[in-house]
Structures are given as structure tokens and as C-alpha cells.
Amino acid sequence: MLSRLKPLLNQERILGGALVVAVTQMLGSIVGLIRDNLLNRTFPGLGVIDVYYAAFRPSDLLFQIFIMAGFSVALVPLLAKYHVDKDRTQMSQLMNGAVTVAALVFGSIALVLGIAFRPLAPLLTEFTGPRLDLYISFGRIALLTNFLFVFGNAYGQYLNTIQRFWVYGLTPVLYTIGTILGTLFLTPYIGPHGPIVGTFVGAVLFVLWRLVSVIHHGYRPKIHWWHPELKSLGILMIPRMIALGMIQLELLLFDRIASGLPAGSISINAFARNFQSVIMGITGTALALSLFSPLSQAAAKQDWPRFWGYLRKGMLFMLAFTIPGSIGLVITVPIAAWLIHLEPMFVPLFFICIVLYAFSVLFEGMNNLFTRAFFASRNTTVPAIFTVINGAVAIAISWLLAPKYGVASIALGYTIGHVVEMMGLILYLPKEGRGVKAEF
């Protein structure tokens, strides 16, 4: 029995890769919970913690738009084209070109923002006095941390392409452990800076581990100023930049809507969404990620029957993973409320939000899968369009229903938005596969 299961659970196979990512995502969630509890105990009153999380928002926003917009949609399909031919030289040259250009772009933006952070800070936050000074200091360290992530995330796309998911999934855990160790051992000496300095050290280890791994698997680092494929990457990332911008706007407006509701609405929505994201990470995200490289390799070979075979299997696995995950999410609401120390008066509303978010898991999982199918075939425009439609629907429903249904309207809008996006993506799946659609 074990001999039969071992090949199936190999990380280079769809189910095995999904299982590896799910395990590492779950481990990351557990370590993240430990981090949050430790921060709460170390800095009672949440004042320092508010500054810590808020300080990452400007650099995270820039990183998502200017770096991940390209890395997350185009780098794997471009690398896969050379991976199917076992051409490690071209893979290295493409990686080196992408890393060099991305580091120059984000490094320049980060340097300018870091210098201008003090005059800009009052426009980005309402902190004043010592908390504003702490915010500025934290924000500059966050920019440096995200600069390191330019390299770490590029190496992660290489690992994704060659389907080495253990290192890909465990390195974020190491990054979080850095925050924990900084809180424990540095805070007694450098005060509130302990956690964020620990985070920076964790980012260094994150990058080094991934670098050693990709070198072990054939990558050869070198400063390389350009690669012909980078033009394609730049074109493909433009729609994704719009999509990521819409996602950020959606989150911003969700908080704006919740801020006009009874006290605690923002937190309840955030808590419910966080627990939904855990289930999403170990089911839908894990499966979609494990399928990205096989889909990209099939598309690179123009092997559309194989492409659609992977997609068919992915849809079946998605049903098998996300539905039980959603049920489990609802069943464990009392445990979730206990873990975050939620006051009893908020539990009924928290339960309603969890139920509504639980319905979204299947649809969001399918959207992750279909979106990567488009990315694999080098089509980023269609997913961007339906991401924007998703956000518009979610915002409209939340805004219209909030006066009557309160914060639950946000969870409902989020779910309906993903339903609409899934229907649109299905209608516009890569045209090259139309001829083998009967395989479903």
C-alpha cells in the first residue's frame, strides 16, 4: 500500500505537490498564530502591534503591484518553456534578468520612499508623536525587508516551476520564526524594534535558503541586465497590476464600509476572513499552485489535451478538497472564537460571517485554478477583467446591504463576487482547449 502511495504523493505530482503545499501552509498558519499571541502578550494594548502591521502596508502595496504582478503571472510560464527542454542555462539567464531588473525597479522606488517617508507618513496614517516616529522607523525597515523579497520571491517561482514545494512552503515559516525570535530575544535590548528586526533577519534566512536550493537545482546567479522574454513579462504583468490594484481597493472599501457600522465590525470581518484564508490556503491555493507548473509546461508544448486533462483533474480535486474544508471551517467556529479570545457578544455575528465566507472557498479555489490556467497560456487580460468585475460586484453588494445586514453584507458580497468571477472565467477559458472540451 505504501509503495503505491509514495509515487502519488511525490511533490512533482499534482496531488503530492498540493499535499506538500497544504502541510506547509498549515504549519505557517500555526506559527503565525504563535507569533500573534506572543506579540499580544509582549505589547499589551496593541499600540505597538498596530504600528508594526500598518508600517508594512505602503511597501507591501508597492511590492504587490510592481513585483508580484509580474512574478506571479508570467515568470513560471516563461521558465516552464525552458524547463520542458531541460535548458537550465536559459532558465538561469531569464531568472538573472528578471531579478536584476526587478531589484533595480523596486530598489529605486524603495530608496525614494524611504527618504521621503517622514513627510509622507502623516498622509499614510493618523499616528502622532512617538507612534508616528515608530511608524517611520518600522516603515523603512519594511521597505528593506520587501527589497529582499524581490530575490526570495523570484527564487520561489523557480522552485514552483521545477516543483520543489517543500522549500517553497517551509521558507515562509522560517521568516515568521524570525519575528518570534526577535520578539523573544531582541525586545529586552532594543524594545519595540525587536519584532521587526527579527522579521528582517527572518527575511535574510528566507532568501538564503531559497538561493541555496535553486543553486542546488541548476540555477547559476549572475548580474544579467536583460533577457528577451522580459518584454513579454512586462506586457503580461500590466493587466495583473490593474487586478492587484482592484483587490487593494476592495479591501480598503470593505474597511470603509465596516467603519460606519457598530464597533468591532472591522475586527469581526478581519477575523472571519483570516480563518477563511487558512482553509483557502491548505485547499484551493495549494492545489492551484501545484498545478501551475504542469499547466504551464503543457501550454509551452502546445499540448492542449494534456492541458485540459490537468484542468479536469484540478476541478475534481478542488471539489474534493474545498467542500470538506468549508464544512470543517463552520464546525470549528467555537474553537476559532476561543483562539482569538472573542467576546461572547460577538460570537453570533462572527459565526454568520464565517458561514458566508465558507461558501466562498469553493468558488475562490476554482478562480485560483482557472486564473492560473490563463496565466499558463500567457493570457493575463481575461483574469484581470473578471477580478475587477468581482471587486465591483462585492463592493456594490456590501455597500447596498450594509445598512440592513451590517458586516455580514461584506462576507456576502465577497462570496457573490467570486461566483460571478468563476462564471466569467469558465466562459472564456483558453480558446486552444475548445477542441478537447468534451474530455470533461
Q: Which three cell numbers stand for residue 317?
A: 480535486
Of 143, 142, 146, 152, nearest to 99 by C-alpha is: 152
> Predicted confidence band at 81 (pLDDT cuts at 50, 70, 90)?
confident
| pLDDT the model gives residue 162 | 82
Mean pLDDT confidence for 113-134: 84
- Model confidence at 151, pLDDT cuts 50, 70, 90, reads very high
**What residue ranges do the domains of the chain occupy?**
16-227, 237-440
> Which candidate, 284, 422, 414, places its Cα nearest to that of 356?
414
Residue 216 has pLDDT above 70, yes or no: yes
Per the structure block, which three cell numbers stand in for 207? 532568501
Kindly report the backbone phi and psi dihedral angles of residue 87, in degrees, each rounded to the nearest multiple of 5, phi listed first.
-95, 85
What average pLDDT does this structure show over 226-250? 77
**What's the grid cell of residue 371?**
486564473
DSSP 128: -
Residue pair 127/53 in contact (Cβ under 8 Å)? The answer is: no
Question: CA angle, corner 83, sides to 79 and 87, nearest 5?
Answer: 105
Model confidence pLDDT, tens digit, residues 51-65: 777 777 788 878 888
Residue 103 has pLDDT above 90, yes or no: yes
Pick from 10, 245, 22, 48: which is nearest to 132 by CA? Answer: 48
State phi, psi for 425 to the nearest 5 degrees.
Answer: -65, -40
Structure confidence by residue, pLDDT tens digits, 398-430? 999 988 888 899 999 999 999 999 999 999 886
The arithmetic mean of pLDDT across residues 366-392, rounded, is 90
Contact 286, 21 (CB under 8 A): yes
| pLDDT (0 to 100) of residue 2 | 44
Report the chain's mean pLDDT, rounded to a whole number: 83
* Sequence-separated (6 or more) residues with CB below 8 Å from residue 395: 250, 253, 254, 413
pLDDT at 152: 92
Residue 209, pLDDT above cutoff 90: yes
Give pLDDT, residue 436.
44
- Is the predicted pLDDT of residue 431 greater than 70, yes or no? no
Mean pLDDT of 302-329: 91
Contact 197, 190 (CB under 8 A): yes
Q: Please say if the pLDDT value at position 47 is more than 70.
A: no
If you average pLDDT over residues 315-325, what whole number do you get?
92
Q: How many CA atoms lie within 13 A of 108 on its CB side?
A: 7
Angstrom distance (rounded) from CA 88 to CA 126: 50
The DSSP letter of residue 379 is -
pLDDT of residue 115: 93
> Angle at Cα 364 formed by Cα 24 and Cα 407, nearest 5°?
105
Cα angle 213-217-219, degrees, rounded to a multiple of 5? 90
Residue-level pLDDT at 168: 84
> Between these two residues, 199 and 83, which has the higher pLDDT value?
199
pLDDT at 7 over 80: no
Shortest CA distance to 200 belongs to which of 256, 149, 276, 274? 149
Q: Cell numbers at residue 385, please?
A: 477583467
Give the lowest-confidence range in 182-191, 266-275, 308-317. 266-275
For residue 434, is pLDDT > 60? no
Using only the alpha carbons of the chain, give its radius of gyration: 22
**What pLDDT is attached to residue 438?**
33
Amino acid letter, 300 = A
Which residues, 6+ apart, have CB-to-CB distance to 190 below 8 Å? 197
